[in-house]
Amino acid sequence: MPPPAGVAELVDADDSKSSAARRVGSSPSTGTTPRETPRIDMKYCGNCGNAVEFRVPDGDNLPRAVCPSCQAIHYENPKLVVGCVPEHDGRILLCKRAIEPRLGYWTVPAGFMENGETLAAAAARESREEALADVTVGSLLAVVNIVHAHQVHVMFRAVLPAPVFGVGQESLEVGLYLPADIPWPDIAFPSVEFALRRYLDDRSQGAERVHFADFDRGSWTRPIPA
Ligand code: ZN
């Protein structure tokens, strides 16, 4: 499903500056670490509607949104973003985004995992939604911690069995691209570029490895950039 209006679908480095992106869960720019800064946009208890307060509950060690009326503790944890790199006959399926953040930039099919589905099902669903493509999800390709945005991006390899696809509601254009034609400067998110580059490296070596990386506030922190 597309995200609710006003809520960013994916948040990476540059998008954390926008208010729309911040609503998903980027930390406020207080100069403190993410572990010290609960989200600032929760005002009311989802259980009873009373105003919440931020404090460290008994037995815990981090501030939480706590309801002083019904005592509910509203935990905030990282969200999973799931996608895949679909290939057909040596070409990669890419989508030009029709929504913010990164409207007009290119991505592979990816988005927030829904309750009740598996990682592979989420990757397949996003391919259907964004590219009207029925892909066969394959091996795990990359796990990227987007630390400041409180997200983990999980990317799979995938096969598009036939060159059948279309322009989904969240896309402006969808196409199959030879590796040499991938618009690298216009790739929407660092995690997508990471997954695409590792995918192509592995493919050229006949390998299917799993790659891990951490991205925090505009920089790769693992692997450490050269
Ligand atoms: Zn409450």
Secondary structure string (H, E, C) spanning 86-97: EEECCEEEEEEE
CA of 65 to the centre of ligand 1 (A): 10
Which one, of 121, 38, 132, 31, lies nearest residue 77 by Cα? 38
- pLDDT tens figures, 170-197: 999 999 999 999 999 999 999 999 999 9
CA of 44 to the centre of ligand 1 (A): 8
The answer to whether the beta carbons of residues 78 and 151 sit under 8 Å apart is yes
Residue 14's pLDDT band, with cuts at 50, 70 and 90, is very low
Residue 17 has pLDDT above 80, yes or no: no
CA of 40 to the centre of ligand 1 (A): 17
Specify the DSSP class assigned to residue 109. S
CA of 70 to the centre of ligand 1 (A): 4
Mean pLDDT of the chain: 87
CA of 102 to the centre of ligand 1 (A): 36
Provide the terminal-to-terminal Cα distance of the chain, rounded to the nearest Å: 38
- pLDDT tens figures, 92-144: 999 999 999 999 999 999 999 999 999 999 999 999 999 999 999 999 999 99
Structural tokens at position 143: 């796990």
CA of 32 to the centre of ligand 1 (A): 28
Residue 155's pLDDT band, with cuts at 50, 70 and 90, is very high
Q: Which residue has the higher pLDDT, 65 or 4?
A: 65
Residue 24 has pLDDT above 60, yes or no: no
The answer to whether the beta carbons of residues 13 and 218 sit under 8 Å apart is yes
CA of 8 to the centre of ligand 1 (A): 27
> How large is the average pLDDT for residues 19-23?
32
Residue 41's pLDDT band, with cuts at 50, 70 and 90, is confident
The answer to whether the beta carbons of residues 85 and 195 sit under 8 Å apart is yes
pLDDT of residue 39: 56
Dihedral angle, C-alpha 46, 47, 52, 55, nearest 10 °: -110
The answer to whether the beta carbons of residues 13 and 215 sit under 8 Å apart is yes
CA of 71 to the centre of ligand 1 (A): 6
pLDDT of residue 10: 58
List, in order of start, the domains of the chain with CATH numbers.
79-222 (3.90.79.10)
CA of 42 to the centre of ligand 1 (A): 12
pLDDT of residue 29: 34
In the chain, the percentage of residues whose pLDDT exceeds 70 is 82
pTM over 0.85: no
Name residue, tokens 């720019």.
29
pLDDT of residue 225: 74
Residue 4 has pLDDT above 90, yes or no: no
Structural tokens at position 17: 């500056």
